[in-house]
Structure formats: C-alpha cells, structure tokens
Amino acid sequence: MNASTDDMSIRELLHKRLCEHLAVIYPDQDGETLAHRLIQMMRLHDQCQTPIAHKNLWDQTDILVITYGNTIRRRSQHPLKTLHHFLKTHFTMLINSVHILPFFPYSSDDGFAVIDYKQVDPYLGDWNDILRISTDFHLMADLVINHCSAEHQWFRNFQENVSPGKDYFFCVNPNENLSGVVRPRTTPLLRAVSNGEETCAVWCTFGHDQIDLNFRNPEVLLEMVDIIRLYLDMGVRIFRLDAVAFLWKKIGTSCINLEETHEIVRLLRTLIEHADPNAVIITETNIPNRENLSYFGNANEAHCIYNFSLPPLLLNTLVSGSCFHLKNWLMSMPPAQNGTTYLNFIASHDGIGLRPVEGLLSDEEQEGLIQAMENFGGMISWRALDDGSRKPYEINISLFDAMRGTTSGEDGWQLERFICAHAIMLALEGIPAFYIHSLVGTTNDYERVLEHGHNRAINRRQWREEELNQELANPLSHHHIVFNRLRRLIQVRRDQPAFHPNATQFTLHLGDQVFAFWRQSLDRRQSIFCINNISDEEQCITLSSINLIGTDNWKDLIGDEVLEDMLGCVTLAPYQTMWISNRW
C-alpha cells in the first residue's frame, strides 16, 4: 500500500534532521546512507509519527519507583513475576511508573556490565514478564550505552578480530597524555588486551569488566538503535541513558560532555519520538549541576534530567539544620521548558553523589556531611583525580539510616526527618522518583556489602516477599509506619494541579530553619505554599509573611487544618511539613 503524502513529508523531514545530526557526529561519513539505515532499523519507513514540540508528557499523577528486578523474591518463582505481583498489590493507584534496573544477563556491577542487551536474565524471567509489567505501569529501562561487559560477544569477537565487534571498542596508545580525562572510579583507565593480531589498550571508564564502546564507528550507533527498537516493542516507554556523559572520547580533552555526545542524544531523541511520540528520554549524568542542566539542550535532548544535586543538598540541609545552600540552589535552577522536566530523587541504587555539589558546598561542609554519615553507618566511595590523588565521589548509606540524626549526633527524630525529606521531594517542580527501599524504610545491609565486596551493596537489600509483607502489615514495624506515611503524602500530591511537574515555583524566604516554596497550577487556580521545618526545634511562621490572599480559604492538605486567622501564625513541630492550599 502506498504511503500517504503526509507520511512521505514526515519521513522526508525526519531524513533531513537525521542527516543534520550525522553531519556533526560523522562529518566524514555518508550521512544520507546512514540516515536511511537508521530509518529502516527503527521501522520508520512503515510507521512514522509526528512528535509535538514542547508537549508535557506527564502530570502530577506521575510518580516513579526504582527497583532491581530481584529486590522482592519468592521461592520457586521468577523475581520479575514476584515484583509485578508486589507492585500491583501495594502500589496500584500510588505509583504509575516503574524503573526496573538492568534486567539483562550481566557479569558485574549489579547489571550494568551487560552481556546481552537483547535477552532478559533467565534467572529474573523473560520478555513476557517485562511485557506484563509494561501493561500495568509505564516502564523505564536502562540503555547501558557507554560500555558493555567484557563477556559480551562483541568483545569476544574483538579479541578474535572478527565481526561484529572487531572495531567496536576504543583503543588508545597507553603513552598518550590522558591526565585530563574525568574519572568516576579509581581503577586504571586502560586495559591491555590482545585483538588477535597485537596487544592494545582498551578504554574502561568504570572498570576492566566494563569496556567502553567506540561510537566513532557508526556501526556501534546502529547496534544501539536496533536495541532501542526492541525495547520499544517490549513495552519500554522511558529510556534511561546510563552514563551517557562519557560516551565520546577525544584525546586531549576531559572526554566528558563533548559536543558529539550531545548530538548523539539529539539523534536518539529524534528517532525515538518519531517511533513513539509518548516515549521519554532521561539522561543519567552524575556530574556538576551546570553540566547536568546542559542535557536539556534546547528542549531537543533529554525530556528529563536527574536532579542530582537534590539528594546531597537535601541531606546536608536536614543534618545541618540550615537550608541556606538548598535555598540558594533552588533559586538558581531554571524552570524547565514545557516538554522537559526534572526527575527528583533523594535515594537510588547508587550512593548519594558528591560531584553534583561541587561549587555548592565547601570542602569543609562536605567533610562534615561525610563524617555524620559515617557516624550513622555509611561508607564512602572515591574517584581518581588527574594528579593521582583521590576525592570522595559518593556516600553509600540507606536513606533511612542517613536520617538517624544531625551533625550533633543521633537523636529521636529519624522518622520525622525521613518523612520531611520525601515531602519536600514530592512538592518540588519535577517528577518524583522513590527508591523502593525508601518506600519501605529499608536499613543498611552490611551482610550484602561483605558478600558482594562493594559499598553500594549497603542499599541493595533483597527482601523475601513474605517477610516484607509481614513487616508492612505490622502496625508496630517502622516499615509499616514509613510506607503508610509516604502513601498518604503521595495520595495528597496526586490530586493537586499545583504539583504538576511544570507548575510555577518560587522560593520563599522564611529563615534558614524553614525551607519554603510556592507552587501555582498551570491554570493559576491553585496555589500551594510548601512550608518545611528542617530543624529539630519548633518554628513559628506568621501567615502574613507568606502573603496568603485573604479572600481565599486556606487549608493544610497534610494536617487537614483550615487556617482562618490570616494575621495569625502557625507552629511547626521539628521536621513538620505543611502544604497550605487555597483549593481542596
């Protein structure tokens, strides 16, 4: 059947855009032929849709949970089936999106050293399990784009000097000056290997079992696009581009955030949104704040970027009792354009990164935060500097344990401090993402650290479903209390237009012990004043200081208290949050 004229024009425009991207990435290649191959690989010659620029693909009901495929386990059942059952049992009408961390066969790094991008780890389940989860939740999956496992067939072929793979990896002369290369690890950057004819040094940003792919070879890009097409077919709607900032290598540079890397993100965005205009790209770039923001592009790169500065800044706020730095950071953050937004999180499968607060917290303040976390049972992971020294890279600790106390030591406010942190996250501009262990109040897992030999395992516990269900059903268990307190906040948030990810946000100035901001719905009908006591002492706030409009009726959505005296004041208990709204 002949394609319609409109379809032809869409494909022609798509082909033109791809050629423009490819001219930047591969100026010496035949862009016309490459563009045609990309269109064929994504099957856009048959079905090509028109994305709508600056369209918000989310609203206040969008909330994400982050989990490994085997975080919840049941005897004699594939973990993905168990996870699906657990999500449907506990999170229906709360969470509508799920990020399942790499669910592929892997050799190390808890899934991020991928052996086969096109298979589900048989231990976890199969593609049918993934499809079933994607029918009930928006599914987010990792595109581990920077590197693959040393056990991947591509790398095996590289060592045998056969295709595909013999030219898929980045080889360098070990005598090159690589001192300016930014590293997230302390392991050596290069690994000596034989490719069948000679010994060469391959690039390993994250470790010698994770070999960086060579995107200078367009065949590598085509392989990744083929993988993207498969994931779309398997129900993936949200693509997390893992470690994408390190993608392009150029000797003599930092090899991070290079222009070719940004152009590849733009190209992938073009392909994905023409295949599915409702699909979303999220870039995972654990780097200083200004660099992170650059991955929005001009609303033509990532739809969402991780708000990496939020976890360490919010943690520092709650353990120091001062929101000075958090408030200054919030004032400096540009509102996301329509069609883009922030992904807000305060805990994840990784640690709490310290690079995103470079230039925001002083070395002394970072050291105070680190010392407090070590006092609460946390561990520190390091990165290498170009002078051969090392610097703290991230704090490894469960968020529940991170809230045990302040820089003065442990106290009795752990639960309230923990809930306050999530109330702030839920109210900020952007889409909130809960690490599943935070939703159920999981504590530090030292046995797993000993078993796996790396610090990040401290926050990657695997629960038996029966045991966790018992804890969630026990009113005396802190797991039950945490889950139900957070569930209540989530339910309230989902009903408020002023909490739309792109709703207006302004920072309020109520002192350093009260972190406050104002949200207004896109139609300007609802205002919510988010008032958070981030100290261990009561705070009194005069209502006139936040300029409540006297002709409106105001209510705290969390405490259900109607505020009648506009000239009066409210007293916030330590770590109490109020969401004061004129619409309920």
In single-letter form, the type of residue at position 128 comes to: N
Is residue 22 marked as binding?
A: no
Does 147 show up as a binding residue in the annotation?
yes
User: What residues have CB less than 8 Å from 144, skipping those under 6 apart?
Assistant: 102, 112, 114, 117, 242, 243
- Residue 242 known to be catalytic: yes
Say whether 241 counts as a known binding-site residue. yes
> What does residue 200 show for φ and ψ, rounded to 5 degrees?
-135, 170
CA dihedral 369, 441, 498, 576 (to 10 degrees): -70
Please give the full DSSP string across 1-66, using - where no structure is assigned.
-PPPHHHHHHHHHHHHHHHHHHHHH-TTS-HHHHHHHHHHHTTTTT----PPTT-----TT--EEE
User: Is 456 labeled as ligand-binding?
Assistant: yes
DSSP string, 272-299: HHHH-TT-EEEE---S-HHHHHGGGTTT
Buried b (16+ CB within 10 A) or exposed e, 121-159: beebbebebbeebbeebbbbbbbbbbbbbbbbebbebbb
**Is 74 annotated as belonging to a binding site?**
no
Distance CA 388, CA 564 (A): 62
Q: Give the contacts of 157 (CB within 8 A, at least 6 positions apart).
A: 163, 164, 165, 166, 168
Spatial CA neighbour of 502 closest among 314, 313, 299, 311 = 299
Measured CA to CA in angstroms, residue 426 lies from 433, 434, 576 at distances of 9, 10, 14
**99 in a known ligand binding site:** no
Question: Who's near 339: CB < 8 A, 6+ residues apart?
Answer: 53, 54, 55, 56, 57, 299, 303
The distance of Cα 30 from the centroid of its chain, to the nearest Å, equals: 35
Task: Give the gyration radius of the chain's Cα atoms.
Answer: 24
- Which position among 242, 401, 445, 536 bears the catalytic label? 242
Extract the tokens encoding 241.
Answer: 């581009």
242 neighbors 281 (Cβ within 8 angstroms): no
Instruction: Please answer whether residues 276 and 237 qualify as being in contact, where contact means their C-beta atoms are separated by less than 8 angstroms.
Output: yes
Write out the binding residues for substrate: 109, 147, 240-242, 349-350, 456
Write out the binding residues: 109, 147, 240-242, 349-350, 456
Cite the active site residues. 242
